[in-house]
Structure 1
Amino acid sequence: MNPLAKFGAVCRMIKIEHSVFALPFAYIGAFMASDGKPAIFTMLLLTVAMVGVRSFAMAFNRVVDLPFDSKNPRTQQRPLVTGEITPAQTWAFIVIMGSIFVLACWGLNPLCLKLAPLALAVSAVYSLLKRFTWICHFWLGGVLALSPLAGWIAVDPQFTVPAVLFFWGIVFWVAGFDIIYSCQDTEFDKSVGLHSVPQHFGLPTALTISSFCHVVTSIMFLMGGWAGGLSWPYFAVWAVVSAVLYWEHSIISAEDMSRVDMAFFTLNGYISVALFIGVLLGIYL
């Protein structure tokens, strides 16, 4: 395989386009911590760190889940399953991405560097939890929810109330849409002994839990904006985001999961970007 094709396979393996879920929240933390004036070099290092840790986590997930992905009809076209990328190459990629993440944290400040190994460990554990507990969705939420904390401490190395509120908002936001996404694999999870909320509680209850998660998300995002002293434009965007979350649940049901991809990818991608824009407007206007 030529280098360009290999690069494309790596991007597909880690779903590079899904960085849109995490990066805006890291930027939210950085802009709120700096009153809208983060240093360019800090933002550059923060971006490198976020891409590095996300790539590390996705590649680790793919390689440890290879035995399951090779059996699941939905995942049999993933590059590791098809042989476009080998497990050895994936492990090398994991080491490289982890090293890049640690170096970026070193360039930010001592607290970021101290927390770097913990962040890598937390992001890796998610891939193993689904073997033991349906709480894995909330752990994944916690992994992505480190984004606003990371953005904040990259600028101001301390934990603050607004950053923590956004943290919890993202925990439940991600858990909610990951529960929806995992509904596609309910029968497969049962057959191989993997755990998920849909597999454990059934589709109707899983969708109810997902709805509850997104109600909590809306509340946390509201409180985070209030605690951060953001102005009215943020709350206007917050209202739109809350409406989108409601719509997300209105287009799927236990009887019709045909729009899961729209709920998971399209709408949630818009939510993270919209909230970042809302924060910018809430700071500057």
Structure 2
Amino acid sequence: MTRSASLPDTVRGHWVERWSPAWFLPYARMARLERPVGWQLLLWPCWWSLALASNAAGEPWPNPWHWLLFLIGAVSMRGAGCVFNDIVDKDLDAQVYRTRNRPIPSGQVSRKQAAVFLVILALIGLAVLLQFNRFTVLMGFASLGVVAIYPFMKRITYWPQFVLGLAFSWGAFLGWTSVFGSLGWPAVLIYTASIAWTIFYDTIYAHQDKEDDVLVGIKSTALLFGPRTKPILSAFGTLTVAVLALACWLAGVGPLAYVGLAGFAAHLAWQVKVLDIAEPMVCLRLFRSNWHAGWFFFAGLVADALVRNGGFV
């Protein structure tokens, strides 16, 4: 198999593109391994919730083993979700410039081969999930319904980003339950905030495709918000920060967590300020920058736990 051209939104010079064997490259592209921001954004609700729960439990830092498990789980399950999405969207992808060269619509991988790869990724995710306590395992299985319906939502509603948020934010439950073995209001609030954040960043992402989406009948919040995108994103960003602040207050964390949250809020405000919905490359750059935004809040939570719970002793 020859090495085909990279997809338009591939990270330039990514190691997957440079070093993957030719036979594996289409599968890597189906799992979006060369576009890591997807699993990075899926990871943040997990790590935020884990860090907040660890802080609330009086631990000086989150369990490193759980950090790693959530990382592996985010990569594998984001990959599985993308493969499932590509199987469902084969015909639609063939009509959109940014997606028409994906492995399935371009004929590099058959739907049957993709289905086998999907099972492999799902089994990796299952192996990760089974390392946690029973309640967390049950919560993980409960996410499968919303994951399964997401690819169909863009056909029937202008709010597929909301449904994506329901799926992408589920880790907020798992991080908390991995520490406490039960749900708590801070986890529910991180989940809610992460849904608002998903609408924020995925609307920016969707503005890349809006012309093609109109032609093929795909719906999105980018089309729904249109020229009102900036003020509406400001509202969703404000909601995200306010609900995260409430989660911190209920969990009883200290001031460094709020310092980190302030950095996160400033990053979202900067994105709205520089956003140009008529420039696809600007939209892509800002969408990717949300990985960096998430670090502010996470670092604040970890630093607060270190100071408050004796991590420096």
Give the alignment's TM-score, normalised by structure 1. 0.90
Structure 2 CA distance for partners of 1:256 and 1:104, relative to 1, 3 Å: closer
RMSD: 2.2
Determine if contact 1:198/1:205 at 8 Å carries over to the other structure.
no
Among 88, 96, 106, the residue aligned to 2:112: 88
Structure 2 CA distance for partners of 1:211 and 1:111, relative to 1, 3 Å: same
Among 6, 28, 40, the residue aligned to 1:11: 28
Q: Mean Cα displacement is larger for which, 115-124 or 159-168?
A: 115-124
What pairs up with 1:1-285 in 2 under 5 angstroms? 1=1, 4-16=21-33, 17-18=36-37, 19-34=39-54, 35-201=59-225, 203-256=226-279, 258-265=281-288, 267-285=289-307
Shift of the alpha carbon at 1:95?
1.6
Question: In 2, distance between residues paired with 1:71 and 1:222?
Answer: 42
What SS does structure 2 have at the residue aligned with 1:22? helix
Alignment match, 2:12? none
Question: In 2, distance between residues paired with 1:159 and 1:12?
Answer: 35
Question: In the TM superposition, what whole-angstrom CA distance separates every residue of 1:216-256 from its partner, at most 9, and x where no partner exists?
Answer: 11111222222222222221121111111011011123555
- What amino acid is the match of 2:306? Y
Question: In 2, distance between residues paired with 1:206 and 1:14?
Answer: 29
- What amino acid is the match of 1:280? V
User: Which runs of no fewer than 5 residues in structure 2 stay unpaired?
Assistant: 3-19, 308-313
Structure 2 CA distance for partners of 1:240 and 1:127, relative to 1, 3 Å: same
What SS does structure 2 have at the residue aligned with 1:9? helix
What SS does structure 2 have at the residue aligned with 1:243? helix
Shift of the alpha carbon at 1:43?
4.1
Shift of the alpha carbon at 1:101?
2.3
What SS does structure 2 have at the residue aligned with 1:139? helix
Structure 2 CA distance for partners of 1:42 and 1:263, relative to 1, 3 Å: closer
What SS does structure 1 have at the residue aligned with 2:156? coil
Determine if contact 1:45/1:104 at 8 Å carries over to the other structure.
yes
Structure 2 CA distance for partners of 1:151 and 1:97, relative to 1, 3 Å: same
What SS does structure 2 have at the residue aligned with 1:75? coil
Question: In 1, distance between residues paired with 2:267 and 2:68?
Answer: 30
Determine if contact 2:90/2:104 at 8 Å carries over to the other structure.
yes
Determine if contact 1:109/1:154 at 8 Å carries over to the other structure.
yes
Aligned length: 283
Q: Mean Cα displacement is larger for which, 24-33 or 89-98?
A: 24-33
Percent identical residues: 25
- What amino acid is the match of 2:50? A
User: Which runs of no fewer than 5 residues in structure 1 stay unpaired?
Assistant: none
Return the structure number with greater helix share: 1
- What amino acid is the match of 1:128? F
Shift of the alpha carbon at 1:44?
4.0
Q: Mean Cα displacement is larger for which, 137-146 or 76-85?
A: 76-85
Question: In 2, distance between residues paired with 1:78 and 1:232?
Answer: 46
Structure 2 CA distance for partners of 1:219 and 1:106, relative to 1, 3 Å: same
Question: In 1, distance between residues paired with 2:107 and 2:129?
Answer: 33
Q: Mean Cα displacement is larger for which, 21-30 or 172-181?
A: 21-30
Determine if contact 1:145/1:170 at 8 Å carries over to the other structure.
yes
Determine if contact 1:14/1:59 at 8 Å carries over to the other structure.
yes
Question: In the TM superposition, what whole-angstrom CA distance separates every residue of 1:238-276 from its partner, at most 9, and x where no partner exists?
Answer: 1111111011011123555551111101x2010122221
Q: Mean Cα displacement is larger for which, 103-112 or 146-155?
A: 103-112
Question: In 2, distance between residues paired with 1:37 and 1:218?
Answer: 23
Shift of the alpha carbon at 1:36?
4.0
Question: In 1, distance between residues paired with 2:192 and 2:66?
Answer: 24
